[in-house]
A and B are shown apart, each in its own frame.
Chain A
Amino acid sequence: GEDVEQSLFLSVREGDSSVINCTYTDSSSTYLYWYKQEPGAGLQLLTYIFSNMDMKQDQRLTVLLNKKDKHLSLRIADTQTGDSAIYFCAERESGGGADGLTFGKGTHLIIQP
């Protein structure tokens, strides 16, 4: 079955880069997503990557995909206090049309001053 794994916590200093890692098991995944959730809020789509891509950059965000190892990472450059949140990795299985996402349990990003 599908499974997405993430580390539960990551602590970084303000101004440093944060790297959040994710592994997935479904080899038929076609889209992989990163969502951000702040306390008491819904999910905000940060970025996504197609499975035929290796890297995607969007301002401070860089997504790396190693399809062979089924490993996805999100790098946040120059981490700020406003980046403090829970980050979810999610995969979507190829199936035509719009399908349900499988999420990891989320990584709590903690920013140290």
Chain B
Amino acid sequence: DAGVTQSPTHLIKTRGQQVTLRCSPKSGHDTVSWYQQALGQGPQFIFQYYEEEERQRGNFPDRFSGHQFPNYSSELNVNALLLGDSALYLCASSPETLYGYTFGSGTRLTVV
């Protein structure tokens, strides 16, 4: 049983560019959350998707947007990249009745 899969694993972008990160949740999970983990920090909640809608959002600007597809997979889009957006982006999935989130291995984004 595949867990949460994320692509790509690594990415280098230039300031001002746009990026799309992808996530496939664990089988049986319908809720997807995205987190940003800067170096030496704990993950910070960006937003959560359920039934193809953003259900909850953390303290991130509108440059961060997302989407969830009917098959529960999700994308995270970041526009107008800043150097400070360099981080590990983690996707987590969970069933609606929650006991714990399953995390993917993340996408390492470097903005130069």
Residues of A within 8 A of B43 (CB): 43, 88, 101, 103
Per DSSP, are chain A's interface residues mostly helix, strand or loop, or mixed? Answer: strand
Docked-complex contact B105 and A106, CB < 8 angstroms: no
Which of B11-19, B48-56, B63-71, B74-82 lines the interface with chain A? B48-56
Interface residue ranges of B85-112 to A (CB < 8 Å): 90, 92, 94, 96, 98-106
Provided the pairs A48-B99, A98-B48, A98-B98 are in contact, do residues A104 and B42 lie with their beta carbons within 8 angstroms? Answer: yes
Number of A interface residues, CB 8 Å?
A: 23
Is residue A24 within 8 Å, beta carbon to beta carbon, of the partner chain?
Answer: no
Q: A14-41 toward B: CB 8 Å interface, digit per residue (1/0)? A: 0000000000000000010101000001
Task: Give the CA-CA distance A43 to B50 in the complex, in Å.
Answer: 21
Docked-complex contact A98 and B104, CB < 8 angstroms: no
Docked-complex contact B40 and A105, CB < 8 angstroms: yes
Provided the pairs A42-B90, A88-B43 are in contact, do residues A98 and B100 lie with their beta carbons within 8 angstroms? Answer: no
Residues of B within 8 A of A105 (CB): 40-42
Docked-complex contact B103 and A43, CB < 8 angstroms: yes
User: Residue of A at shortest CB range from B45?
Assistant: A100
Docked-complex contact B58 and A100, CB < 8 angstroms: yes
Docked-complex contact A41 and B45, CB < 8 angstroms: no
Is residue B73 within 8 Å, beta carbon to beta carbon, of the partner chain?
Answer: no
Is residue B7 within 8 Å, beta carbon to beta carbon, of the partner chain?
Answer: no
Interface residues of B (CB under 8 A from A): 4, 31, 33, 35, 40-45, 47-48, 50, 55-56, 58, 90, 92, 94, 96, 98-106
**Closest 4 A/B residue pairs (Cβ):** A100-B45, A103-B42, A43-B103, A42-B105
